[in-house]
Structure 1
Amino acid sequence: MVKTVAETLLRILEFLTPTLEIQEITVRAIQKQGISKARARWAIPGESSNSDDNLTRKVKVRILKGTTYSDDAEVRPQQKAQFASNLTNEAESYAIIALGSNLGHRVDSIEAACNLISGDPDLRIISTSPLYETRPMYYDDQGRFVNGVCKVATDLSPVQLLDRLQSFENVLGRVKLIDKGPRNIDLDIITYAQHVISTERLTIPHKLMLEREFVLRPWCENFKLASTGQSVSQHLQQLVPGEPSMFPITPLAPESELLQSLHPKRKTHVMSILNVTPDSFSDGGANRPTDLDALKHTIQSHIAAGATIIDVGGQSSRPNAPDVTAEEEIARILPAIELIKALPEAKHVSISIDTYRASVAEAAIEAGAHIINDISAGSLDPDMLPTIARLGCTYIMMHMRGSPATMQNPENTAYPDDLVFTVATELLVRLDAAQQAGIRRWRIILDPGIGFAKTVEQNAELLGRFSELRNHEELRTYPWLVGTSRKGFIGKLTGVEDVRDRVEGTAATVTAAVAAGAEIVRVHDVKEMVRVVKMADAMYRRGRRGGDAQSSSPSSSSSSSSSSSSVCDTHCSENDQQEGQTQIEEEEEEKGKGKGKERNNCVP
Structure 2
Amino acid sequence: MSDDLISISSLTLKAIVGSDSWGKAKLQTILLSFSMRTNISAAGKTDHLPYSIHYGTANKIVSEFVENKTFETIEDIAEGVCNVLLSEKLKGVWIKLRVEKPRELLRAETSGLEIIRSIPCDNVKSVADSMFVRNLSLLTIIGIHPWERKERQPVLLNMTFYKSSDTNFWWSEGYNLRSIVHQTCEHVETSSYLTIEALITSIAKLLCVNLNISKVTISASKPYALSFAIPAVEITRDKTYFETNQNVYLTLSSNVRSRAQNLSDAIKQLNERGIMVVDTSFLYETKAMVNTVHPCFLYAAVCVETELSPDELFRELKLIENEIEETKTVLQGSRKIVLDILLYKDTLLECDGFSIPHKLILKEPVFLAPLVDISPELRHPLTNSTVVYHLSLLSSSNNTSIIKYLPLPRNRHIIFERGGARQIMAVLNFPFDYFSKDNEHVDIDIVNTVKEMIHDGATIIEITSCSFIGTSISEEEESRRIIYPIKVIREARIDVCISVNTFRAEIARRAVEAGADIVNDVSGGSLDPSMFQTVAELNVPIVIRSSSSAAQTTLTPTQVKENTFGTLCESMVKCVKQAIHAGIKRWNIILDPSFGTNKTHEDDLDLICRLPDLVHHQAFRNIPFLFEPLASRIIDSSNGVEKETTCIWSTASALAVCVVFGADIIRVHHLKEMAQVIKVADAIRIQQYKKNLL
Q: Determine which of 160, 173, 176 is the counterpart of 2:328.
A: 176
Inter-partner Cα distance in structure 1 for 2:345 and 2:256: 31
Inter-partner Cα distance in structure 2 for 1:264 and 1:110: 24
Alpha carbons of structure 1 residues 231 and 470: separation in structure 2 relative to 1, 3 Å: closer
Alpha carbons of structure 1 residues 341 and 486: separation in structure 2 relative to 1, 3 Å: farther
Match of 1:96 in 2: 249
Question: 1:459-483 deviations in whole A, cap 9, x for unaligned?
Answer: 1221232222112122131111111
Contact 2:419 2:690 in 1 (8 A): no
Match of 2:533 in 1: 386
1:326 lines up with 2:475 in the alignment: yes
Question: 1:30-82 deviations in whole A, cap 9, x for unaligned?
Answer: 9xxxx9989xxxxxxxxxxxxxxxx9x94315999xxxxxxxx99999xxxxx
1:302 lines up with 2:453 in the alignment: yes
> Which segment is superposed worse, 194-203 or 514-523?
194-203
Match of 1:223 in 2: 378
Residue type matched to 2:415 in 1? L
Question: 1:405-432 deviations in whole A, cap 9, x for unaligned?
Answer: x999997996344432321221011111
Contact 2:552 2:567 in 1 (8 A): no
Residue type matched to 2:504 in 1? R
Inter-partner Cα distance in structure 1 for 2:555 and 2:160: 45
Residue type matched to 2:349 in 1? I
Inter-partner Cα distance in structure 1 for 2:451 and 2:554: 39
Alpha carbons of structure 1 residues 297 and 143: separation in structure 2 relative to 1, 3 Å: closer
Alpha carbons of structure 1 residues 294 and 58: separation in structure 2 relative to 1, 3 Å: closer
Inter-partner Cα distance in structure 2 for 1:288 and 1:533: 36
> Which segment is superposed worse, 359-368 or 138-147?
138-147
Q: Displacement, 1:253?
A: 5.3
Alpha carbons of structure 1 residues 286 and 537: separation in structure 2 relative to 1, 3 Å: farther
Match of 1:569 in 2: none
Contact 1:133 1:247 in 2 (8 A): yes
1:128 lines up with 2:280 in the alignment: yes
Contact 2:156 2:222 in 1 (8 A): no
- Structure 1 segment 563-602 matched on structure 2, within 5 A: none
Residue type matched to 1:156 in 2? L
Contact 2:467 2:502 in 1 (8 A): no
1:232 lines up with 2:410 in the alignment: no
Match of 1:317 in 2: 468
Q: Displacement, 1:392?
A: 0.4
- SS of 2:560's equivalent in the other structure is coil
Inter-partner Cα distance in structure 1 for 2:159 and 2:643: 64
Inter-partner Cα distance in structure 1 for 2:640 and 2:223: 50
RMSD between aligned residues: 4.2
Inter-partner Cα distance in structure 1 for 2:554 and 2:637: 18
Contact 1:97 1:188 in 2 (8 A): yes
Residue type matched to 1:249 in 2? Y
Q: Displacement, 1:363?
A: 0.9
Inter-partner Cα distance in structure 1 for 2:280 and 2:603: 33
Contact 1:467 1:517 in 2 (8 A): yes
- Structure 1 segment 9-24 matched on structure 2, within 5 A: 15=136, 22-24=161-163
Q: Displacement, 1:255?
A: 6.1
Alpha carbons of structure 1 residues 93 and 478: separation in structure 2 relative to 1, 3 Å: closer
Alpha carbons of structure 1 residues 93 and 451: separation in structure 2 relative to 1, 3 Å: closer
Inter-partner Cα distance in structure 1 for 2:262 and 2:206: 32
Q: Determine which of 270, 273, 279 is the counterpart of 2:424.
A: 270
Q: Give the total of aligned pairs.
A: 500
Residue type matched to 1:303 in 2? I
- Structure 1 segment 51-450 matched on structure 2, within 5 A: 58-61=204-207, 89-90=241-242, 91-120=244-273, 122-173=274-325, 175-220=327-372, 221-240=376-395, 246-252=402-408, 254=410, 256-260=412-416, 263-276=417-430, 278=432, 291-317=442-468, 320-321=470-471, 323-344=472-493, 346-347=494-495, 349-402=496-549, 415-450=560-595
Residue type matched to 1:430 in 2? C
Contact 1:287 1:294 in 2 (8 A): no
Q: Displacement, 1:254?
A: 4.3
Q: Displacement, 1:351?
A: 0.4
Question: 1:486-532 deviations in whole A, cap 9, x for unaligned?
Answer: 54444727533355762111211211111111111111111111111
Flag the structure with higher helix content: 2
Match of 1:592 in 2: none
- SS of 2:618's equivalent in the other structure is coil
Residue type matched to 1:248 in 2? K
Q: Determine which of 452, 455, 466 is the counterpart of 2:600.
A: 455
Inter-partner Cα distance in structure 2 for 1:370 and 1:143: 24
Inter-partner Cα distance in structure 2 for 1:408 and 1:489: 23
Residue type matched to 2:327 in 1? V
**Which structure is higher in RCO with an 8 Å CA cutoff and minimum separation 6?**
1
Contact 1:408 1:452 in 2 (8 A): no
Alpha carbons of structure 1 residues 229 and 257: separation in structure 2 relative to 1, 3 Å: closer
Alpha carbons of structure 1 residues 94 and 295: separation in structure 2 relative to 1, 3 Å: same
Contact 1:305 1:530 in 2 (8 A): yes
- SS of 1:226's equivalent in the other structure is coil
Q: Displacement, 1:545?
A: 6.5
Inter-partner Cα distance in structure 2 for 1:453 and 1:74: 38
Q: Displacement, 1:372?
A: 0.4
Q: Displacement, 1:110?
A: 1.2
Contact 1:100 1:185 in 2 (8 A): yes
Inter-partner Cα distance in structure 2 for 1:203 and 1:523: 50
Contact 1:147 1:214 in 2 (8 A): yes
Residue type matched to 1:24 in 2? K
Q: Displacement, 1:247?
A: 4.4
Inter-partner Cα distance in structure 2 for 1:136 and 1:270: 30
- TM-score when scaled to structure 2? 0.64
Q: Displacement, 1:378?
A: 0.8
Alpha carbons of structure 1 residues 487 and 29: separation in structure 2 relative to 1, 3 Å: farther
Alpha carbons of structure 1 residues 21 and 377: separation in structure 2 relative to 1, 3 Å: closer
Inter-partner Cα distance in structure 1 for 2:112 and 2:665: 44
Match of 1:504 in 2: 649
Residue type matched to 2:444 in 1? D
- TM-score when scaled to structure 1? 0.73
Gaps of 5+ in 2: 1-20, 22-103, 114-129, 137-154, 185-200, 212-219, 225-234
- SS of 1:509's equivalent in the other structure is helix
Identical amino acids, percent of aligned pairs: 28
Q: Displacement, 1:200?
A: 1.6
Inter-partner Cα distance in structure 2 for 1:242 and 1:142: 22
